[in-house]
């Protein structure tokens, strides 16, 4: 489902409203809401909204479990850490139990960090493929999402829940959820902002299909819902409510 908004503020607010509504429904039904956050720059405005009214007091933080779809293999205070960005933006401003913040251990050697995260997922979700209530994603100009980069072997991994990948542009190792985990989510919300994303968003949605060159094309919910939350520039040429 394509959800187009006039500007970045409106698109970010729509993402925050979806987070709030899904959290209230999940905590109301099962006492728990599990969400995997994306990194980068696009979600920061939305994350800040979550730490402010009216969202801060509307979200049942005591039942919210925050994970990451990916993070950079850097220490938690590092300026490139996705955890640090979310912590600054809202986590430190909301009454979420510290044990409910499941940070990827970027300070560890990458493969060790991935194994640790897989174990943490199993401790929360149990054995098998974790099913997140909300999977928040962004999309890179090359069509990557999380840290699933073009032609990377991690794209083919169907056995593990967490793996590692090298962001070649910066020689930066990453920890990332794998495709099966992302696709198992009940709701996948892809936030894309700005005219610079319009081409890759249109190609990701409409093709041509070339999923190992455009990893976002591997993201198709198994039986959940996928929403593209776009501002008008990023959604150029697409129809609201279209597919
Ligand atoms: O760790 C990361 O960088 C993200 O998880 C990554 O997948 C991001 O979502 C895209 O690169 C889009 O980033 P922007 O929103 O900054 O364009």
Average pLDDT value over all residues in the chain: 97
Query: Could you tell me if the CB of 41 is within 6 A of ligand 1?
Result: yes
Q: How far apart are CA 160 and CA 144, in angstroms?
A: 19
Give percent of the chain with pLDDT exceeding 90: 98
Query: Could you tell me if the CB of 145 is within 6 A of ligand 1?
Result: yes
Instruction: Give Cα separations from 55 to 11, 88, 115 (angstroms).
Output: 15, 16, 34
Q: How far apart are CA 91 and CA 179, in angstroms?
A: 26
242 has a pLDDT exceeding 90: no
Instruction: Give Cα separations from 113 to 21, 28, 37, 75 (angstroms).
Output: 32, 33, 17, 11
Query: Could you tell me if the CB of 8 is within 6 A of ligand 1?
Result: no
- Number of the ligand 1 atom closest to the C-alpha atom of 191: 15
Element at 19 (helix H, strand E): helix 8-30
Domain parsing of the chain, residue ranges? 2-231
According to DSSP, residue 82 is labeled: H
Q: How far apart are CA 225 and CA 156, in angstroms?
A: 22
180 has a pLDDT exceeding 90: yes
Whole-model pTM: value is 0.97
CB atoms within 10 A of CB 27: 18
Give percent of the chain with pLDDT exceeding 70: 99
pLDDT in tens, 99-123: 999 999 999 999 999 999 999 999 9
Average pLDDT value for residue range 18-35: 98
Q: How far apart are CA 227 and CA 169, in angstroms?
A: 29
Class of domain 2-231: alpha beta
pLDDT score of 239: 81
Confidence of residue 240 (pLDDT cuts 50, 70, 90): confident
pLDDT in tens, 72-87: 999 999 999 999 999 9
CA of 25 relative to ligand 1 center, distance in Å: 27
* Contact indicator for 103, 68 with CB cutoff of 8 Å: yes
**What value of ipTM does the predicted structure carry?**
0.97
CA of 176 relative to ligand 1 center, distance in Å: 12
Query: Could you tell me if the CB of 231 is within 6 A of ligand 1?
Result: no
pLDDT score of 92: 98
Query: Could you tell me if the CB of 70 is within 6 A of ligand 1?
Result: yes
Confidence of residue 241 (pLDDT cuts 50, 70, 90): confident
Q: How far apart are CA 164 and CA 62, in angstroms?
A: 31
- Number of the ligand 1 atom closest to the C-alpha atom of 145: 7
Q: Please enumerate in sequence order all residues whose Cβ is within 8 A of that of 86, keeping only pairs 6 or more positions apart, or say none.
A: 37, 47, 66, 68
243 has a pLDDT exceeding 70: no
- Shortest-distance Cα residue to atom 11 of ligand 1: 140
pLDDT score of 160: 98
- Number of the ligand 1 atom closest to the C-alpha atom of 41: 16
CA of 140 relative to ligand 1 center, distance in Å: 6
- The CB-based long-range contact list for 204-212 (8 Å cut-off, 24+ gap) reads 204/139, 204/143, 205/2, 205/238, 205/243, 211/155, 212/150, 212/151, 212/155
- Number of the ligand 1 atom closest to the C-alpha atom of 192: 15
């Amino acid at each position: 489902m394509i959800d187009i908004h006039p500007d970045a503020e409106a698109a970010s607010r729509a993402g925050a409203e979806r987070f709030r509504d899904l959290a209230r429904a999940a905590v109301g039904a099962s006492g728990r809401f599990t969400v995997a956050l994306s990194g980068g720059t696009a979600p920061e405005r939305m994350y800040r909204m979550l730490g402010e009214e009216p969202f801060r007091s509307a979200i049942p933080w005591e039942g919210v479990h925050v994970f990451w779809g990916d993070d950079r293999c850097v220490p938690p205070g590092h300026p490139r850490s996705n955890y640090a960005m979310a912590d600054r933006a809202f986590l430190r401003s909301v009454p979420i139990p510290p044990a409910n913040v499941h940070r990827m251990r970027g300070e560890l050697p990458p493969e060790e960090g991935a194994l640790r995260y897989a174990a943490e997922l199993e401790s929360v979700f149990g054995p098998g493929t974790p099913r997140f209530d909300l999977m928040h994603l962004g999309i890179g100009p090359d069509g990557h999402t999380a840290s699933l980069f073009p032609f990377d072997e991690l794209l083919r991994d169907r056995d593990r829940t967490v793996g590692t990948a090298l962001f070649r542009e910066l020689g930066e190792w990453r920890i990332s959820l794998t495709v099966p985990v992302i696709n198992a989510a009940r709701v996948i919300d892809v936030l894309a902002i700005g005219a610079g994303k319009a081409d890759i968003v249109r190609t990701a949605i409409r093709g041509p299909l070339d999923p190992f060159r455009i990893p976002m094309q591997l993201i198709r919910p198994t039986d959940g819902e996928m929403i593209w939350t776009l501002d008008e520039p990023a959604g150029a040429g697409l129809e609201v409510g279209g597919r």
